[in-house]
């Protein structure tokens, strides 16, 4: 079994923080597209990127107060910490040059990227805390 769908993204990083593995039926389609976008960003940055949040089950998404139509639940999104010494805006500027990244959300401490199947890129600024950076209250 491979460690992940690409050189730099592992199945462990893609799993939900509640312990649920990344869904098997999306591994060849969604995970590969997401991992290719991640690897392109990782290569351009030239430094490791910490994945805060990737796939979320609907239950976990509710527990962390995620958006209802979250791309994380669809297995198409990653929340990433900028490398040490980088701002979220600097990481976003690099990500913006990658055409396969169709959703780009800038938050205070992390960057959301996703590979939603839409022609137009969605870009937004958000204020919420990183969903999986803190232990959710249950
Ligand atoms: Zn996100």
Q: Is 46 helix (H, G, I), strand (E, B) or coil?
A: coil
CA 1 to ligand 1 center in whole angstroms: 27
pLDDT tens per residue across span 71-107: 999 999 999 999 999 999 999 999 999 999 999 999 9
| Residue linked to tokens 């137009």 | 120
Burial of 115 (0-12, 13-18, 19+ CB in 10 A): buried
pLDDT at position 91 is: 98
Mean pLDDT of the chain: 93
Output the CA angle 32-116-51, nearest 5 degrees.
60
pLDDT at residue 117 tops 60 = yes
Query: What span, in angstroms and rounded, lies between the C-alpha atoms of 111 and 127?
Result: 11
User: Which residue is it, tokens 């959300």?
Assistant: 105
Q: How far is the CA of 116 from the centre of ligand 1 (A)?
A: 12
Q: Say what the pTM is.
A: 0.93
The residue that leads in pLDDT, 46 or 131, is: 46
Q: What is the pLDDT of residues 48-66, one digit of tens each?
A: 999 999 999 999 999 998 8
Q: What's the gap in Å between 113 CA and the centre of ligand 1? A: 7
Instruction: Flag whether pLDDT at 133 surpasses 80.
Output: no
Q: Residue 134 pLDDT > 70, yes or no? A: no
Ligand 1: centre distance to CA 137 (Å):
19
């Amino acid at each position: 079994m491979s460690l992940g769908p690409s050189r730099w993204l592992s199945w462990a990083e893609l799993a939900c923080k509640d312990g649920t593995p990344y869904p098997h039926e999306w591994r060849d389609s969604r995970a590969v597209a997401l991992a290719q976008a991640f690897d392109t960003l990782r290569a351009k940055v030239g430094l490791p990127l910490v994945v805060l949040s990737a796939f979320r089950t609907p239950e976990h998404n509710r527990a962390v107060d995620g958006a209802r139509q979250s791309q994380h639940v669809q297995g198409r999104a990653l929340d990433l910490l900028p490398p040490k010494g980088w701002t979220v805006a600097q990481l976003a500027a690099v990500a913006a040059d990658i055409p396969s990244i169709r959703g780009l959300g800038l938050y205070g401490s992390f960057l959301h990227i996703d590979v939603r199947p839409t022609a137009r890129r969605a870009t937004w600024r958000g204020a919420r805390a990183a969903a999986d950076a803190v232990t959710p209250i249950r």
